[in-house]
């Protein structure tokens, strides 16, 4: 079936001498694999349509659950281009790789909007790290590992958040506190904002450096402990952080 899809290329794999297999998150079908024949050749008119982080409309021969074939299309935006900021490129790589892994566990096409909105906001110059954390929070629902932030993770009672630890899955109350990281009194509100914000609505980001760092650390440990996801691009972010 020949059809047009709107999508973002998450990943490319070289195939044969000049072809590429693209992993594309589409609005219509979620994640699909598309072969772009001859895409690495300079003469090919598919070359500029077959780049990682490209958002575009793709005309394809669609085969459900199989390899679709790219026929043509229109490039709408190449994320990260025009920026020689390696930071932005690294964060986009990370978010695209994470998205690809999440889609392998849950190919839900509503993830398209989360990805597109987050790349748009990074492109607009908003904090890469905060946008990354918002995306990570939202993906926990798709992975089926939403943290329960209303109870203490040790005594399992409703509580006022006193400290947090990603390895135990959330907050601990003042009675159970041992060596977890203490949080400011309004910290639950901060986390709720991360979970519930509509990324497309974000105009500016106001968060203290301390809160931003606690959230980032919590998510890093939470993913390591409760998800099976490990990302190559995480190393790049760690290097950049230093
Ligand atoms: Zn407790």
What 114-118 contacts at long range (C-beta under 8 Å, 24+ apart), as own/partner pairs, is: 114/138, 114/139, 114/199, 115/8, 115/25, 116/8, 116/55, 117/199, 117/200, 118/199
- Residue 175 CA to ligand 1 center (angstroms) comes to 6
Same domain, 107 and 169: yes
Same domain, 177 and 201: yes
Q: Domain boundary at 44, 62, 78, which?
A: 78
Please give the Cα distance from 162 to 185 (Å, whole number). Answer: 7
Please state at what angle helix 111-123 crosses helix 128-143, rounded to 10 degrees: 170
CATH code for the domain in which residue 52 is found: 2.40.50.140
- Residue 183 CA to ligand 1 center (angstroms) comes to 15
Same domain, 50 and 149: no
pTM of the predicted model as reported, rounded to 2 decimal places = 0.93
Same domain, 124 and 198: yes
- Residue 151 CA to ligand 1 center (angstroms) comes to 8
Please give the Cα distance from 218 to 148 (Å, whole number). Answer: 13
Same domain, 32 and 97: no
Mean pLDDT (10-residue bins), the chain, 242 residues: 97 95 97 96 93 97 96 95 81 95 96 98 94 97 96 95 97 96 94 95 94 96 93 75 57
* Per-residue confidence (pLDDT) for residue 201, from 0 to 100: 96
Same domain, 154 and 179: yes
Same domain, 92 and 201: yes
- Residue 169 CA to ligand 1 center (angstroms) comes to 13
* Per-residue confidence (pLDDT) for residue 242, from 0 to 100: 52
Same domain, 25 and 122: no
* Per-residue confidence (pLDDT) for residue 80, from 0 to 100: 83
CB 7 within 8 A of CB 58: yes
From 103, 132, 123, select the one nearest 53 (Cα to Cα). 123
Please give the Cα distance from 77 to 80 (Å, whole number). Answer: 9
Please give the Cα distance from 58 to 26 (Å, whole number). Answer: 9
* Per-residue confidence (pLDDT) for residue 233, from 0 to 100: 78
- Residue 48 CA to ligand 1 center (angstroms) comes to 55
Overall domain count for the chain: 2
From 118, 98, 114, select the one nearest 228 (Cα to Cα). 98
Same domain, 66 and 112: no
Place of tokens 């909007």: 113
């Amino acid at each position: 079936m020949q059809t047009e899809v709107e999508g973002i290329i998450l990943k490319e794999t070289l195939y044969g001498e000049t072809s590429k297999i693209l992993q594309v998150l589409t609005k219509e079908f979620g994640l699909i694999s598309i072969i772009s024949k001859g895409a690495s050749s300079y003469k090919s008119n598919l070359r500029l349509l077959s780049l990682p982080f490209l958002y575009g409309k793709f005309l394809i021969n669609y085969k459900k659950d199989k390899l679709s074939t790219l026929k043509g299309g229109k490039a709408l935006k190449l994320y990260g281009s025009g920026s020689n900021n390696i930071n932005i490129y690294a964060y986009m790589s990370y978010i695209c790789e994470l998205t690809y892994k999440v889609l392998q566990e849950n190919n839900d096409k509503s993830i398209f909007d989360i990805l597109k909105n987050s790349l748009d906001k990074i492109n607009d110059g908003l904090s890469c790290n905060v946008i990354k954390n918002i995306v990570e929070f939202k993906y926990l629902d798709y992975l089926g590992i939403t943290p329960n932030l209303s109870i203490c993770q040790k005594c399992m009672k409703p509580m006022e958040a006193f400290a947090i630890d990603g390895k135990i899955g959330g907050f601990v109350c003042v009675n159970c506190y041992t060596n977890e990281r203490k949080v400011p009194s309004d910290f639950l509100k901060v986390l709720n904002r991360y979970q519930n914000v509509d990324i497309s609505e974000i105009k500016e980001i106001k968060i203290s450096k301390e809160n931003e760092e606690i959230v980032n650390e919590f998510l890093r440990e939470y993913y390591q402990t409760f998800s099976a996801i490990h990302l190559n691009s995480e190393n790049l972010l760690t290097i950049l952080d230093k």
